[in-house]
Amino acid sequence: MEPTGYELDGKVAIVTGGGTGIGKATALLLARYGADIVIAGRTESVLRDTSAEIESATGRKCLAVPTDAHEEEQVQRMVARTMEAFGRVDILSNNVGWGDSATLSQVDYEAWRFEFTRNVDPAFFCTKAVGPHMREQGSGAIVHNSSVAGVDGVAGMTPYSVSKAALVMFTRVAAAEWGQYGIRINAVAPGLITTENAMVTYDANNIDPDVMCANRPLRRAGTAHDVAKAICFLASDAASYITGETIEVSGGPVVGGQGG
């Protein structure tokens, strides 16, 4: 049978934020396609449980490396541990980030800077850390997790929107610089996704995610698996001629006018 491009046998993938949510769904799907996995996150017990689940479900190796991706030294140690265990790194899926509501009038400099520390620094540190290994291999795929807030903007979430927009431009410029080494760099921009952490917030505020997405063409909130499928596509050879792009995973665009 002719290869589809999705096969990842012999590949090694690092997934940050890999213990829960989009990161966990991505790690599981990458393993189902044949990759061995390194999951990184701050909570060792969660990583350990997820690692065991992935190995049991897929038969692939899944190494759990407790890591705070906001700390450059910890990221470098995590990548070094990956090289010790597997000898290569082919895929990096950056999933660390979060956001708080804050308008331009409300936000102070400390909160402004914190959003960049939380959403941009981990992707920067991880990309820089895997870069030498991917350049030496002459291949690699990196996928950042941005947000529709970074593409379209969200009023009332000014610093979050701007920090996620920075990831979009980081994706584009890094792809332009590293394409010569056979490294592809893309991003996904999820919309409203019903991860475990997000649902805690929605439930606490009596928010129905599907109602919030009623104006989207698909008329439902997204799942972590929806986003994971897009990440795995961009990480695979099925996307071999795509780089520097940001793909929205949001249930479709909201446009004016009438339809029928």
Catalytic hit among 93, 163, 164, 236: 164
Identify whether 164 is a catalytic site residue: yes
Report the alpha-carbon distance of residue 39 to residue 82 in Å, rounded.
10
Residue 152's pLDDT is what? Answer: 92
Residue 160 burial (C-beta neighbours within 10 Å; 0-12, 13-18, 19+): buried
Catalytic hit among 93, 146, 147, 250: 147
Per-residue pLDDT of the chain (260 residues; tens, 9 = 90+): 678 899 999 999 999 999 999 999 999 999 999 999 999 999 999 999 999 999 999 999 999 999 999 999 999 999 999 999 999 999 999 999 887 778 888 888 998 999 999 999 999 999 999 999 999 999 999 999 999 999 998 888 899 999 999 999 999 999 999 999 999 999 999 999 998 887 887 888 888 888 888 889 999 999 999 999 999 999 999 999 999 999 999 999 888 776 66
Q: CA angle 224-91-196, nearest 5°?
A: 20
Residue 10, Ramachandran bin (φ over 0: left; ψ between -120 and 50: alpha; else beta): left
Residue 259's pLDDT is what? Answer: 65
DSSP-assigned letter for residue 148? G
Residue 260's pLDDT is what? Answer: 66
Residue identified by tokens 């959003």 is 115
Query: What are the structural domains of the chain?
Result: 12-196+224-247 (3.40.50.720)
Predicted TM-score of the model (pTM): 0.95
DSSP-assigned letter for residue 214? T
Residue 103's pLDDT is what? Answer: 84
Residue 209 has φ and ψ, to the nearest 5°, of: -60, -40
Catalytic hit among 160, 161, 163, 236: 160
